[in-house]
Structure 1
Amino acid sequence: MSALSNEKSEIVHVSSGLPSHARDDLERRLVRKLDLRLFLIVLLYALNYIDRGNASSARLGGFEKDLHLQGTQYATILSVVYVGMCVMQVPANMFLHWLERPAILIPWTMVTWGAVSTLTGATQNYTEVLLARLFLGFAEAPFFPGTIYLLSGWYKRDELAVRTTLVTCGAVLSAGFGSFFASGILTGMQGKLGQAGWRWLFYIDGGMTIVVAICAMFLLPNFPHNTTWLTPEERSLAISRLVDDGYGRIDGLGKRSTVRGLWDALSDWKVWWFSVASIIDCMALSFVIYFPTIVATMGYDMTTTLLLAAPPWVLSAVGAFFLSRYSDSTRKRCIYIFASNAFAALGFIISICTMNMVARYVSLFLMAQIAAGQIILWAWINNTFAREPAKRAVAIALISSISAAGNIVGSFLWPITWGPTYRYSYAICVTALGVSTVMLGIMYLHLKRVNQQIERNEQNAKDINDLQDPVGYRHLV
């Protein structure tokens, strides 16, 4: 019997003795308990995007004028956040894989970026705000890859897309409701204690993040083998069901080192292919950080503009949930990414072709549907590198950090001189989206061919030891 089979027999001894109906009931209770705990990440994601994106809302409240920003300085302030993220995401996820304590690392990450965000409200010039935004990127870097890695340490492949959607809906909704929340602060707090409304926006958002982070320390789980609120039966089941689904171990037995995981990720061409596709994809997503500015081209005042920014993202969250749910139920990924990208491309094209107010507002709803494809893409990346936790930790962080280069470029794709039509910006976005979609299509064809090869090998094998993939692992495509 293979070493993997021996490992499996060691960890399933508790749950394997249960009748099938009792095991199913235990699994349902386990997943429900996980969902309740991990639902907290919805709020964490919302705060993450609000703190990173509040500069876009502050722009409508005098942020540029008060700090005397000129030329491309505002775009530089937006882009410099991603420099820190490029640098720190891989070391942070390698550290998380070694530490195995996301319930400690993620909240302390939040406390740090909450403090930096709060201090941003006290900046007085370009140099100070630039440094604050740079430190914000370093502080936020561990959050996204860390939470994606945490989810992959608990959920099976056919559960992952919808759970990724649920927890990242906080990011989608914050793109809209962050503007809604900002409109109340910018108008209601203007001049309070002699401070501009946009300064209060940073103070309040950063303060909320710190408070929520302290609460999260007591609620977030670690991984199945070291989470204290699991019963022995639940712990055994949580580990064994992932191994049965083709995931690698994360409980120490046969676990690869973080350095080996780094080498495995760096030497896998699929990591680099996803990385390049993600860079180009993030250029198409650049409209998100300029969303209030784009809505402002419709000619409404600040409050109305920020309120109008919310509905497209509410519909986007609903669409993302249903699309990811079907993605999990059908065990398919790429076709749903294509569908999401097609809606976004249609939105870009409408905005290129017309300045009609109604048509352009409808186009914003279509553009926002790109969020569903992004969420499913990360579930697909998780599935593709599922078998080795050390490699998966590095692969997720490496792809995320490299893709941040696309955000840096994207920050400069919406100069005010191209407004109010922003046709050149939309043209770049639709082109980038087309290129990234083609690249993902090539990856789909490759993984489909790998699956077919595995099936042929299994059909020709006479003994399980002859199989190249003894657990019957299949890539979801």
Structure 2
Amino acid sequence: MADDISRSNNDRIEVEVEKENIENLENITEQQQNVLPHIDPARRIVVEKTLKRKLDARCSLFVLIYIMNYLDRNNISAARLKGLQEDLSLSDTQYSTCLSILYVGYILMQVPSNMFINRISRPSIYIAIAMTLWGLISTCSGWAKNFGHMVAIRFLLGFVEAAFLPGALLILSKWYTRRELTTRNAVLFCGNLISNAFSSLVAAGVLSNMDGVLGHAAWRWLFWIEGAITMTIALSSAFILPDLPTNARGFTEEERLVAQLRLLEDVGEADTDSEEQSPFTGLIMALKDWKIYIMMLSFTAYVVGLSFNAFFPTLTGTLGFSEIPTLLLSAPPWVFSCIFSVVNAWHADRTQEKIWHIYGPIMMGLVGFIISMSTLNVAARYVALFLQAGSYAGFIFLIPSSPAKRAVALALINAFSQLGNVAGSYVWDLSENGYRKSYGIVTAMFGITIVGFWLFRMILVNLNKQLSEAEVADEDQGGDFIVSANESLCMRKGFRYLV
């Protein structure tokens, strides 16, 4: 929501780079510095197209990993329909605790994990190891015998899964410019949406065919099969995922240099932390920025509103169909949500506007909530599920400029917002009258989200005014940057916060 944008609407690639700016790029030799300014313009365009094509292909694996990330996290909801709660003798409150405890580990690990991933040179290996571990832990869910087992497994699962999403967002931000990032982030989040659809189809197949195989309940096979798939994918991710523009394998030296220049031209400085910065510099910078606290609270309310995700098969079950048709009916709303999210993000990148591309999906979700509270008509309630799933399309992240601050801010916002999932796990205990009270709560949370994002927008509008005034005051200074005691105003001239 807070990407910076240049006033210039010129989309042509700048070829001539001032030598003083090129020297800001670390890890580039003197010989390379002399060659870069003389890259043929036509050659630069070809190299950049090849770079983005390779990058998009490699980063597409993030979508598959995110599918498995959510699949392993939310398959407990489908397993509940086939006897998990009864076999483990869980009360409704204990089941909700099994859901919410995952986010305790998830919250605790996100910030230290992203601080670590921002300091290492091979994040692909780190994510591959984390994925292997959470796949192994997920398979252990199939061996759970009681409430204590399941709580411990879910806590560890969240602890290890925390490495993925903020880490993936950080890696994407190190390769793509701000004009490209919203669409790529939306494609990444489609992994979440696809998993909601795909998990229902996989669960329908496993739960309808595996019951009693080798003497085990079908819901146990669901955990074992999906965990094994996760570990298999993890093996390939270490070789396919990109690392950093300075050292990524599978790219030519020319492509890596152009990748670094793209970020230099985009933000006005190299996308690397200075040697003087400690691992805690980004944490301190993020904690001093009170705008991040507004985003943390707003996204938390948003996540509470989206908490129907973990209960989607149960909510679909209110339509009155049996288990397998319920799982099959749970898939189409998420397919719609995926398509709508990509179109919404693409249009946001094209128009360079954010707030109404967030409000639109939220309003769609509110209409779905109101329909679900107002009627028990089967057709109307199923349409409402499509509208509710579509509300995910507004989930767009703040991307700070400094790599160290960006790593912590992404993790802080995402981690703190998961408190919404903890609270949301208990919101849907109120099952009477088709979950009307629960829908009332998430409606109120979306209202808080709207207010929070509007307040954030007003702050950015005010900062843009200050940037304009600072440029006028400094127009005789001749420098390329605005120097200010306020970090939010220390920007390259011409930049504006995108609102």
TM-score, scaled to structure 1: 0.95
Query: Which of these residues, 336, 350, 371, is aligned with residue 329 of structure 1?
Result: 350
- Deviation of 1:459 after TM superposition, in Å, equals 3.1
Letter in 2 for 1:451: N
Any stretches of 5+ residues in structure 2 without a counterpart? 1-17, 484-490
- Where 2:118 maps in the other structure, the secondary structure is helix
Report the alpha carbon displacement of residue 249 of structure 1 after superposing the two structures with TM.
3.3
Amino acid in structure 2 at the alignment position of 1:233: E
Residues 226, 152 of structure 1: CA spacing in aligned structure 2 closer, same or farther, 3 A cutoff? Answer: same
Map of 1:193-272 to 2, 5 A cutoff?
Answer: 193-246=214-267, 249-251=270-272, 256-272=277-293
Give the whole-Å Cα distance in 1 for the aligned partners of 2:268 and 2:455. 24
Give runs of ≥4 in structure 1 deviating > 4 Å.
1-6, 8-12, 251-255
Distance across 2 between alignment mates of 1:10 and 1:46: 35
Matches for 1:399-414 after TM superposition, within 5 Å: 399-414=413-428
CA apart distance, 1:420: 4.5
C-alpha displacement at 1:154, in angstroms? 0.5
Aligned equivalent of 2:51: 30
SS of the residue aligned with 1:322?
A: helix
1:476 and 2:498 are equivalent in the alignment: yes
Q: Are the aligned partners of 1:15 and 1:23 in contact in 2 as well (CA < 8 Å)?
A: no
CA contact 2:84–2:219 (8 Å) conserved in 1: yes
For 2:22 and 2:393, the matched residues in 1 are separated by: 37
2:110 to 89, 102, 105: 89
Aligned residue among 445, 451, 473 for 1:438? 451
Letter in 1 for 2:425: S
Shift of 1:463: 2.6
Q: Partner residue of 1:102? A: 123
Establish whether residue 120 from structure 1 lines up as the match of residue 137 from structure 2.
Answer: no
- Listed one character per residue, the Cα deviations across residues 173-220 of structure 1 (whole Å, up to 9, x for unaligned) are 111111111010001111100000000000001000000001111111
Q: Report the equivalent of 2:326.
A: 305
Please state if 1:47 is matched with 2:68: yes
Deviation string 1:96-118 (CA, Å, 9 cap, x unpaired) is 01113211111111101000000
For 1:284, give the aligned amino acid. Answer: G
Instruction: Give the deviation of 1:4 after TM superposition.
Output: 6.2
Change over 3 Å in CA distance of 1:66–1:339 after alignment to 2: same
Task: Report what 1:171 is aligned to.
Answer: 192
For the aligned residues, what is the CA RMSD? 1.9
- Report how many residues are paired: 469
Q: For 1:445-475, what per-residue CA distance to the aligned partner results, in whole angstroms no more than 9, with x for missing partners?
A: 2112212321232233113327333354322
Aligned residue identity for 1:467: I
Q: SS at 1:256's partner residue?
A: coil
The Cα of 1:254 is off from its aligned counterpart by 5.6
Q: Which residue of 2 aligns with 1:373?
A: 394
- Give distance in 2, aligned partners of 1:105 and 1:9: 23
1:65 aligns with 2:86: yes
Structure 2 equivalent of residue 467 of structure 1: 482
Q: Indicate if the aligned counterparts of 1:82 and 1:404 stay in contact, CA closer than 8 A.
A: yes
Q: How far off its partner does 1:168 sit? A: 2.1
Tell me, yes or no, if structure 1 residue 355 matches structure 2 residue 368: no
C-alpha distance in structure 2 between counterparts of 1:255 and 1:58, whole Å? 50
Task: State the one-letter code of the partner of 2:181.
Answer: L
Query: 2:273 touches 2:402 (CA, 8 Å); kept in 1?
Result: no
Residue from 309, 316, 321 that aligns with 1:288: 309
Verify the 8 A CA contact 2:25 2:270 in the aligned structure 1.
no
Whether the 8 Å CA contact 1:316–1:365 is kept in 2: the answer is yes
Distance in 2 separating the partners of 1:316 and 1:235:
35
TM-score, normalised by the number of residues in structure 2: 0.90
Instruction: Please identify which structure carries the higher helix content.
Output: 1
Q: Distance in 2 between matches of 1:91 and 1:4?
A: 32
Question: Alpha carbons of 1:257 and 1:243: their partners in 2 closer, same or farther (altered >3 Å)?
Answer: farther
Comparing 47-56 with 419-428, greater Cα deviation is found at: 419-428
Where do 5+ consecutive residues of structure 1 fail to align? Answer: none
1:353-406 deviations in Å (ceiling 9; x for gaps)? 1111111000000011111101xx22xx01xx1x21001000000111111111
Q: Is the 8 A contact 1:27 1:237 kept in 2?
A: yes
Residue 449 of structure 1: aligned partner:
462
Contact 1:248 1:388 in 2 (8 A): no
What are the superposed Cα offsets for residues 301-359 of structure 1, whole Å, 9 maximum, x if unpaired?
10000000000000100100100001111122111001111111111111111111111
- Percent identical among aligned pairs is 39
SS of the equivalent of 1:410 reads helix
Distance, in Å, in 1 between the alignment partners of 2:61 and 2:24 is: 32
> Which amino acid counterpart does residue 81 of structure 2 have in structure 1?
L
Indicate conservation of the 8 Å contact 1:42/1:170, yes or no.
yes
